[in-house]
Structure 1
Amino acid sequence: MEAPGGLKMGILIPSNDAGRLIGKQGAGLRQVREMSQCNIKLGQDPDSQGNRRCDISGPTVEHIASAVHAVATRIFESGGEAQCKMFVAFPNEYVGAVIGKGAENLRRIREMTGANLQLMKDVMSDQGDRVGQLVGVQNQLGAAVRIALSVVGQASGNMPAAMPRANAFYGGGMGQQAMQPMQQMPMQPIQGMHQPMSMSPMGQPLPLTGVKRGSGDVNEMQVHMVIAPKYIGAILGKEGAQIKQITADTGCANVSVTRKEPGNLGDRRVVVLGGFEECANAQRSVYQLYFSAAQTAGEEVKDITIILMVPQHAAGAVIGKEGANLKQLREQLNLRVNLSREVVEGFRPCNLVGPLESILMAEKQIQDQVLQLPPPTSEDRSNGTKRFGEDEAMPGAFAEVERPMKRPRMMAGPAPGEGTTKLLVPSTSAGAIIGKSGSVLKQIRESCGASLEVLPQADTPHLQSDRLVTLRGPPNCREAALARVLQAAFDKDQMNTNLKLLVPGPTAGAVIGKQGSTLKAIRDQTGLSVQVEREEIHGDRLVSAQGALASVLGAASMILQAVENSSAGKQAAAAPMGMMGAPPPPGPPLQGDVWMPQA
């Protein structure tokens, strides 16, 4: 049943993709319902276009957007910049608000998410509502729907009400708002809402502890997720198993939970460090555990508090002229945003309160602003920075502050020609690639300068015996990282290394070459036979080869070079050298007889 006064929309899913949404024994649909608290109904029979309609209804815009994000996660491959196409259906009475005056709302969607929504004139679904085409990267489709329906939600009174600004200090309150229950069982809002900030026995505000000093990597983010104490156990798991699994699955540099602090009976925090994609995936995993535990306890979760650590030198850019940038985040994403004046370990804490997906959009915007700035000088890093424990007047309670992790510096910023490479590895070798608590992923990331992610098996149910590894960064960094991933995956049998690359469908011709010339050149130079599958997998073609690790890496370099040249609009060329003709960033030498690109 649709919630009284709620919102609704539909997604038209090709029949051959419906199985990924449903999942094994309906597990996928259950997951979408649990994550979004929406009513999700997938039609049994295809419509006249061969699509099965997924009807979504819920009490607020945030619920609908969360459901769309969850559906997109099920039916599209996550990660990367691949463009995903989703057909959506809006009730006719929504259409004017979705488009906006002079198509203003559609323009906002493009500017804020990079996604493109087009409502096709006179194209109706079998139910008579308006059909639109939404195209964008997978993790922005839910955000695009949130903006599309924002005006509809305001008109119907289904947007969250404005709340007081968050305090500059971490206050220990969840900032939850009650909403209409979606379950038959009675639900209670999370306890501890709208509490005053935590106070010390002397009546002074407790400052933020557990902040880790920056590693020097400008791409690294640090976020603190505020969690009610009674749910920390569900997130940690037995002997910390859950939090360790999140670290391993997402490839974050660190995921940890703050300790109980003397005099502070308020909430605990989950601290996440890594690149934006890694941090976003970790936050979603933590939120899902938190949501499930709260639902089991008969409580509702709507808004969450996340503290993003903004480098001190970037605070002005994040604030904007006369606070314009912060104001834009508040108005466009309907978040409570407050940037503290306090400097902690070289950061200024930025409190973000609202729905998780909106917060992730804000994090991305802030991170983009930080990356546009030149690296800070030593004077920028030290000016006005105060670390806990360095002020003799501070109480001894701050002795429990965790010391910073020591990590080597990575590349100073994004290099020209950045892109994504998709690699399939046997599921049985995923543990060797990830390493204990993500140690191998971390080593590869730091030594090669590429971002890595090993997707959970549940995210790629169509890959029965393989796990998907995504590599992001400049071409030579991705190539170096691919070599280390394959070495880890086939360390016990390097003579039978199995290469499986997913290349964008339009570039497969470049890999084959005119009359098979590129494949012949690869065979002549490496001794391997390379196969290019005809069938596409979500828009990609599988390119495979098998043989000794050294030969496989030579073939991989030539394949990736052909893809890179094709993507750049150049004539594909096969040559036994790195794609950019430059060596990868320095790192520990590979063991054994391994082919690497030469300068």
Structure 2
Amino acid sequence: METSLVEGGLNVTLTIRLLMHGKEVGSIIGKKGESVKKMREESGARINISEGNCPERIITLAGPTTSIFKAFSMIIEKLEEDISTSMTNSTATSKPPVTMRLVVPASQCGSLIGKGGCKIKEIRESAGAQVQVAGDMLPNSTERAITIAGTPQSIIECVKQICVVMLESPPKGVTIPYRPKPSGSPVIFAGGQAYAVQGQHAIPQPDVSEGPSLTKLHQLAMQQGPFPIAHGNQGFQAGMDASAQTGSHELTIPNDLIGCIIGRQGAKINEIRQMSGAQIKIANPVEGSTDRQVTITGSHASISLAEYLINARLSSEATGLAAN
């Protein structure tokens, strides 16, 4: 089957994005990452998995078509195996189909559906899988989800046909990729950029400087403030007026915790500086003192964002979750 793809001049580099639930992703990663490591080695495809602590995650497969489909087949087999395992402890008599969600730029969905739905009908019939293209775009993106359900073989065949269509009609304009967010993650607005806070990371959101979504993010950010900031006495007010003013703020951090803020060779503190846009100075240790003085300088918004990130780092260190 793969030979026809190669002969058809499709042995090119492909990128497939899959949207999965956290539980499914855990199964694909496997214990200590063994399962995903095996998939990478055997298929030769690049397999990237988006940040954790979200109900949904994105798995990106990239590489030549043959590698991609090998990796994709292995993922499908793993999901099929999980369904079979869950069936052994279940009273259900009929086995549910494997369900897979692809994430595709909305500008390519028209070609996939075809005139009057003729293309999608043809794919459904020839592959023998159920295919549903979502009517709406995924939040904060220009991508749509395509849900495919069926037997592993019919899903693989279906995805191959979808890839052929996508290669024939590339996306138009700029694609804003979908980034899954943790349930109810706070949105921060700093320096004209919106950030969603995920764990101890502030993830810059797509540029929304035009259109109604800016006001929506603005409102969200306004609802979220003030932030629970230790030692901080100012509530976080999101908005352009806050970004325009500059000031400085001091934090006192215990000596034994300063390491988790600085990180290995200053990696963490640099990351916080970069994300927040604030200047952060850590004073040298003072004899007889168990604390260190940290001075944050910048706009009110960037100071608040820096404080939030520092505090997120401290609280995760306190619970023993901080990654070095």
Q: How high is the TM-score relative to the length of structure 1? A: 0.26
Q: Tell me: higher relative CO, structure 1 or 2? Use CA pairs within 8 A at least 6 residues apart.
A: 2
